[in-house]
Structure 1
Amino acid sequence: MTERQSFFLMKYNIVWFIDGLGMGGAERLLVPFLRRLNESHFSIRVCAFQVKEGNPMGVQLRRLGVTVDLLPIPHLRAPTAIPRLVRYLGQHRAHLVHTQLEFANTLGTVAARLRRLPTVATLHTFDDVASPGKEARRIRLMWWVLRHGCRRIIAVSDGLRGYVEQTARLPSARCLTLYNGIDLTRFCRQPPAARLALRRAWGIPPRAPLAISVAVLREPKGIQYMLRALPHLLRSWPDLRYLVVGGGAHEGALRALAGELGVTERVIFAGIRHDIPDLLNMSDLFVHPTREDALPTVLMEAMAVGLPLVASRVGGVPEMVHEGENGLLVPAEDIPQLIAACHQILDNPALAQQMSTAGQQIAAAQFNIDRQAQKLAQIYHELLS
């Protein structure tokens, strides 16, 4: 057997360090990526720092055969954090470490460097370091650690890669873009009968326009801008409903705002859901009014199902929403432009259908999880060979 043949027959132990296992975009991507990586030449372990036993994401991963360990680390300065991670990597005979999110990128990279293991870090967000607060100092520390200790730094969009190369001074030779991906067998258009059945279950009239947003309900996600647009849209479309999927600290304020605006009866706060493909399929328009986003997974999912998109022109969003082709871009926080874009699609069924078809084609070409997982596996092979 040649050395090359031996390399590809060997099962390599990959440890993924991640801050937690919540329902944000980075965490939700674990399942489709790890399902495919675990079926290749890798044995994957996930180690989460801030999560409770019985977490739904952890349960899902374990069903896939992925080992999930919970290693509580309360903060970056915890004196035992790095020694514990170093021991963990030794105990599980890790060959490579992949880190996700701030704490993991910082602590996991240091621990891997001490074990002399190659490290891959994924950056998911445009982090603001202009403020003098603790968060900015933590981000600057993460960047310093990645600059000196990480072999490959993955940005989830070209816009984010350019930002971190310039702002964080991360070496361009070690930075690359790898789009996230979704399971196109799960996110696909369902037949009209299924759509009608879903609407009946939610009490939504068959012909009522339904706009949907899926997000962690934080203030920067911008759901409040769509709520403020709603009274204007209801003048033209009295039966319009707005479905808000997700939970978070801002939910109470959003419910109160809907009440102040008099649109409570037209807004459905669905909470955290695990039937996102169904909810997208019964909708007519996906609205993503965020103030910041690197490469929102929800836009991939919406276009794969065939929804026309209205989204803020921020971060990596223009790499996904091709203006006039699969959706419309608006300036962040610009409510009049948001209203106009929603009107343009709702008033023009032919345009909406054209955008639906284009979106499905773009999702298949750019965001197929099988293709993206193969690219990630190739990065691992390059570092391990």
Structure 2
Amino acid sequence: MSRIEVVAPNFKKRLSGVTSTIIQLVPLQARMLGIATLGPGLPESLPKIRWWQVPLLLKRPQSGRKRIWHARRNVEMLAGLVLKAIFRAPLLLVFTSASQRRHKRWTRFLIRRMDGVIATSRKTAAYLTVPNTVVMHGIDTVKFAPPPDRDAAVEAVGLERVRNYVGCFGRVRHQKGTDLFVDAMIGLLPSRPGWSAVIAGRATAQHAAFEQELKARVATAGLSERILFVGEHSDIARWYKALALFVAPQRWEGFGLTPLEAMATGVPVVAADVGAFSELIEEGVTGQVIPRDDLAAMTKAAGRLMDDDVKRDAAGRASLERASKLFALQGEAEAIGAFYQKVWSTG
């Protein structure tokens, strides 16, 4: 505990985008400073403190400076505030905001009491009423990387080598726009025999009927062998390697990592203008950003790239370069580290 200078709480047991961020970032941050996680739902391989050690946060670490409590949810901001204001723990409170909507009064109350605030995109920053620093999410460019042989990558996940594949990955639900992707593929695939589509992701019990309706729609179109629902996969990086094009059809997103995962794999992206997508994609170079909830625009943009091998390949190369240069996970960890130094210097 004496060497821990940053605590990254995770108070949600179920896997979420926030939890995934912590899992990816903390090992890199641990190479730069003393950091530990606190809470359930995290791999045992991460540095962590246990609940019985929380009282030790009332003492400063051996460096003598205050610890940083880096929250990413309201409940974590509240816990840090209670420790600092009621129990007088020597803490500096940092919050990362990914939301792109006006915060509720309670959230604004908590944010105003933070010592430093990070926004994950310029769009997110626009909804904050306090000074903040933009640090965009990064991607593991070792895990998500182009395959040496895309045909072999296609075979490795059990797909047919003779086809090109366009993918849509993420939870299967209305918010994620899975129905828009299905309808676009129903419109595009009949005239493009060399292409098939892959939908990877889980439909929770609440959204099972939605998934079944989509499968029925595909069957009615006679495309059950070409629009594939492959379920949830822990090795999703292998599935990106099998793709020639990726579509992100979300109706709403806080940030959204799937376009970055595709780009880092050398796959061009057609994405709705939600989350940080317009800040990730270089329009007309690495892919195209289309209006939210616009099926016609999605179908047109995807079809254009499906039909132009030269343009698609060039966009794939540009995607890889952009993701590697601007959105490597190491860069995010370093930017957060620099922000911590700024907070320490003023707190």
> Structure 1 length normalisation: TM-score?
0.79
- Cα distance per residue 1:86-119 (max 9 Å; x no partner): 7474389681100012332344344344434101
Shift of 1:319: 0.5
What is the rounded CA distance, in whole Å, between the counterparts of 1:30 and 1:185 in structure 2? 17
What is the rounded CA distance, in whole Å, between the counterparts of 1:91 and 1:251 in structure 2? 49
Which among 157, 164, 168 is matched to residue 209 of structure 1? Answer: 164
User: Which protein is richer in helix relative to its size?
Assistant: 1
Match in the other structure for 1:343:
303
What is the rounded CA distance, in whole Å, between the counterparts of 1:279 and 1:32 in structure 2? 19
> What stretches of structure 2 of length at least 5 have no aligned partner?
none
Match in the other structure for 2:185:
230
Which residue type is aligned with residue 133 of structure 2?
L
**Structure 2 residue 109 is matched with structure 1 residue 144:** yes
Change beyond 3 A, Cα 1:86–1:23: closer
**Structure 2 residue 2 is matched with structure 1 residue 38:** no
Question: What percentage of residue pairs aligned between the two structures are identical?
Answer: 21
RMSD: 2.5
Shift of 1:368: 1.2
**Structure 2 residue 117 is matched with structure 1 residue 117:** no
- Cα distance per residue 1:35-63 (max 9 Å; x no partner): 11111221312324xxxxxx5xx22xx22
What is the rounded CA distance, in whole Å, between the counterparts of 2:82 and 2:53 in structure 1? 9
Q: How does 1:170-181 map to 2 (within 5 A)?
A: 170-172=129-131, 175-181=132-138
Match in the other structure for 2:48:
67
Match in the other structure for 2:80:
108
Shift of 1:85: 11
Shift of 1:185: 1.6
Tell me which moved more, 359-368 or 208-217.
208-217
What is the rounded CA distance, in whole Å, between the counterparts of 1:159 and 1:128 in structure 2? 11
Match in the other structure for 1:90:
58
Match in the other structure for 2:147:
190
Which residue type is aligned with residue 209 of structure 1?
N
Match in the other structure for 2:123:
159
Shift of 1:201: 4.0
What is the rounded CA distance, in whole Å, between the counterparts of 1:88 and 1:213 in structure 2? 46
What is the rounded CA distance, in whole Å, between the counterparts of 1:361 and 1:200 in structure 2? 26
Asked if structure 1 preserves the Cα contact closer than 8 Å seen for 2:59 and 2:90, the reply is no
Asked if structure 2 preserves the Cα contact closer than 8 Å seen for 1:17 and 1:108, the reply is no
Match in the other structure for 1:334:
294
What is the rounded CA distance, in whole Å, between the counterparts of 1:278 and 1:371 in structure 2? 24
**Per the alignment, in what secondary structure is the counterpart of residue 221 of structure 1?**
coil
Which residue type is aligned with residue 151 of structure 2?
L
Match in the other structure for 1:362:
322
Which among 201, 206, 214 is matched to residue 257 of structure 1? Answer: 214
Change beyond 3 A, Cα 1:45–1:231: closer
Which residue type is aligned with residue 339 of structure 1?
T
Which among 310, 335, 340 is matched to residue 375 of structure 1? Answer: 335
Shift of 1:336: 1.0
Shift of 1:348: 0.3
**Structure 2 residue 108 is matched with structure 1 residue 126:** no
Q: Provide the aligned length of Structure 1 versus Structure 2.
A: 333
> What stretches of structure 1 of length at least 5 have no aligned partner?
1-9, 49-54, 72-83, 130-138
- Cα distance per residue 1:314-336 (max 9 Å; x no partner): 23211011110100111111111
- Cα distance per residue 1:191-217 (max 9 Å; x no partner): 11xx33332244422131211122133
